[in-house]
Amino acid sequence: NAGVTQTPKFQVLKTGQSMTLQCAQDMNHEYMSWYRQDPGMGLRLIHYSVGAGITDQGEVPNGYNVSRSTTEDFPLRLLSAAPSQTSVYFCASSYTTPLQGGEEQYFGPGTRLTVT
């Protein structure tokens, strides 16, 4: 199993450009999520999905879109990049939702994004 994979590993964008961060998992996990990691702020949830066709907003969703057409893939789209979106982005997945407690989240290696 490859686990959770993310592409690209690094990306530089200019303000106003759009792009899609890819995330895929091969563990048949129902729950997938996107976090951003910023210095001194830990990880903050952007969007999450509890299954194919179902997505919902996390605590910092503005400027980002997601879709979940298959169980395996959960891409994150930046509509019009801004310097405030400079961050490291992590995708994570698990069999069940965190609401049910005790479930380990599996994280991808991250995408480091710089917006100039």
Partner 1 sequence: GDSVTQMEGPVTLSEEAFLTINCTYTATGYPSLFWYVQYPGEGLQLLLKATKADDKGSNKGFEATYRKETTSFHLEKGSVQVSDSAVYFCALSGNFGNEKLTFGTGTRLTIIP
Residues that bind partner 1 (CB under 8 A): 4, 33, 40-45, 48, 50, 56, 58-59, 90, 92, 97-105, 107-110
As measured in angstroms, the least distance from the Cβ of 37 to partner 1 is 8
Pick between residue 7 and residue 15 the one whose CB is nearest to partner 1. Answer: 7
Pick between residue 41 and residue 80 the one whose CB is nearest to partner 1. Answer: 41
Is there a contact between 58 and 33 (Cβ–Cβ < 8 Å)?
yes
| Other beta carbons less than 10 A from residue 100's beta carbon | 10
**Torsion on CA atoms 70, 10, 80, 3, rounded to nearest 10:** 20
For residues 33 and 50, what is the distance between their CA atoms, to the nearest angstrom?
A: 9
Best CA proximity match to 79, nearest among 69, 92, 66: 66
As measured in angstroms, the least distance from the Cβ of 17 to partner 1 is 25
Pick between residue 16 and residue 53 the one whose CB is nearest to partner 1. Answer: 53
Pick between residue 44 and residue 77 the one whose CB is nearest to partner 1. Answer: 44
As measured in angstroms, the least distance from the Cβ of 89 to partner 1 is 10
Instruction: Give the distance between the most distant pair of CA atoms in the chain.
Output: 40
As measured in angstroms, the least distance from the Cβ of 113 to partner 1 is 15
